[in-house]
Amino acid sequence: MTDLRIADIRVTPIAFYDPPLLNNAGCHQPFALRSVIEVETEDGVIGLGESYGTEDVLAGLAAMAPSCRGLAVTDLNGLWARTATALPEAPTRLRLRVGGAVEVAMWDALGKATGQRVVDLLGGQVRASVPFSAYLFYKFAGHANEAPDDWGEVLSPEQLVEEARSMVDAYGFKAIKLKAGVLEPLAEIAGLEALRDAFPDAPLRIDPNGGWHVHTVLDLLPRLEGLVEYLEDPTKGIDGNAVIQAATDVPLATNMYVVEPSHLPPNMKHDAFRVILSDHHYWGGLKASRDLAEICRIWGLGLSMHSNSHLGISLAAMTHLAAATPNLTYDCDTHQPWQTDEVIEGGKLPIVNGAVAVPDGPGLGVTLDRAELKRLNGNFEALEYRTRDDATEMRKHWPDWQYGRPKF
């Protein structure tokens, strides 16, 4: 019998190149911070996880990981008990992130040790590939004091359509999402309408990240209705979004205000969001995300998946999870087209016809490229920042820029 107990957990912080993508909080920095988690069993099987590489998560992992030695990789209750003990003062949000990072690696180790895919361990495959959406951003041509990247500047409707065309041609995406909350709302709606003209059949979404006032959204509703399949976090908070949801049949979606279990009851009470954009990195891993899907099914909520900047271990985990989730009602989000670095062997997972096939092989079906891990860790060590700060980055381009949520 294979020994499934954890002998060691290694956490390697990494930084990978990220283009100057814009959002309500500012501009992406030149490098995204991430971490790679390796759970090694006493038999030497290595399970992989990927999570945030910000200071709080790295400190939490450093405090919690040693306490998992001796834990069976099947013992999720033990994982959460040890997480609570190791991080007694941490908010729920951080505990879920830290425990969830290790949880994914435990599933991968279990799958690799027993010759089973994670999708099968999570309840079985209901789809062979997982559809993702084209994730469009307004962006600067290049980072401050750097040459333009291949995508170039995207600040106008024409440039936005060109960005969408490149992404759809390269990956075959069906649905299109626009990250908004950056320009004046009317300019962003004009961008969305240009996308509608260029892609008449594509389901569209817009995500201002809570950047619009309630009255602004109410004024814009006549133009948004019939244009978008859902409206993502148009304004701030459960209460504000409930006012909007009461005024429209377009479902509101969120990855900002229903992000842990305690947020679900008030959301149901106020009917703020009818679509939950799950994310295993912050809901507490794969089991918690399957539980969330079941809650959505029972309560009649739509379900899709949120994405931050990520690499291939995360995409593999997202794909296994989504392939094991019957009630996935919308195409998932991924930042993968923006990504030029990779940490798994063989390079980026292919996106074909807008979908990622469930990787073959046991566990998550991906292995670590140790040379790339070392290089990306070198990036991290050389960086002068340890937290994400989009606002400071934004002011390098637009010195007078002010953060506001809501802003417009």
The site for Mg ion (CB under 5 A) is made up of 207, 255
Whole-number minimum distance, CB 29 to Mg ion, in Å? 19
Clarify whether 306 is annotated catalytic: yes
Whole-number minimum distance, CB 207 to Mg ion, in Å? 4
Q: What is the 3-state secondary structure (H, E, C) of 87-113?
A: CCCCCHHHHHHHHHHHHHHHHHHHHHH
Whole-number minimum distance, CB 297 to Mg ion, in Å? 22
Whole-number minimum distance, CB 63 to Mg ion, in Å? 29
CB-wise, 188 or 207, nearer to Mg ion?
207
d(CA 137, CA 155): 9
CB-wise, 207 or 372, nearer to Mg ion?
207
Q: Which two tokens stand for residue 203?
A: 């389901």
Q: Which residues contact 265 (CB under 8 A, 6 or more apart)?
A: none
Instruction: Work out whether the CA dihedral 340, 28, 52, 33 comes out positive or negative.
Output: positive
Q: Which two tokens stand for residue 339?
A: 């990504």
Clarify whether 270 is annotated catalytic: no
Unique residue bearing structure tokens 């060691």: 8
Which is catalytic among the residues 306, 310, 335, 407?
306
CB-wise, 51 or 307, nearer to Mg ion?
307
Instruction: Provide the strand spans (E) within 152-219.
Output: 176-179, 204-207
Which is catalytic among the residues 177, 179, 236, 281?
179
CB-wise, 255 or 379, nearer to Mg ion?
255
CB-wise, 120 or 260, nearer to Mg ion?
260
Cβ atoms of residues 350 and 365 within 8 Å: no
Q: What share of the chain is helix, strand, coil (3-state, %, to 5)?
A: 40, 20, 40
Whole-number minimum distance, CB 378 to Mg ion, in Å? 31
Write out the catalytic residue numbers.
Answer: 179, 306
